[in-house]
Amino acid sequence: MRTRILILTALGVMMLAATPGLARTPYVGVSAGRMLLRDGAENDLREGAHNIGLRAGWEDIVVSRETGLGAEVEVCLPVASGDTFGEGTWNITTAALYSVARIGRQGFYLKGRLGVLYEHVAVDAALQESADDLGLSFGAGLGLRLGSDLSLESELLLVGENLAYLSVGLLRAF
């Protein structure tokens, strides 16, 4: 079931990207941030891990006067592990496909994302454990256009039931 959801989402993003006549602006970007622990995660994990995200997407697939819709792919890779209560460490790797909305065409804008996210959590403690999950992910943020092709974004993204990703990113449009 999870594999089907991921495949259908990927096909939907590719079909939108290939639809002739839709205005679109491709972009790439990088983000850096910290995984924040939410209720329940503190029982096993003590500190959040730090990650770097790599993004690619299309902005303005469908455009209204003040709102641009798009699609985005993001992979977050661990750069620093968090601590566990059992003298160990943990980290998380994610890959996601998102629908993106940006409200505001000049200067500051609001950003929202909704999509499908795969996560792999690895715990290196007395017993090494890992877990994989696939589910919905959503987030919101604030962006600043630094010119016609450069944007700075800050976001809070729900990664899983007990994790969120707080990040700052830089995007370059082509």
Question: Could you give all domains of the chain from N- to C-terminal order, each with its CATH number?
Answer: 2-173 (2.40.160.20)
The pLDDT value recorded for residue 14 is: 59
Chain segment 49-86, per-residue pLDDT in tens: 899 999 999 887 666 777 888 889 999 999 988 877 76
Mean pLDDT, rounded, for 110-139: 87
Which residue spans within the chain are E strands per DSSP?
Answer: 25-37, 50-63, 67-80, 82-83, 89-103, 108-124, 129-145, 150-160, 163-173
Instruction: Indicate the pLDDT class of residue 1, thresholds 50, 70 and 90.
Output: very low
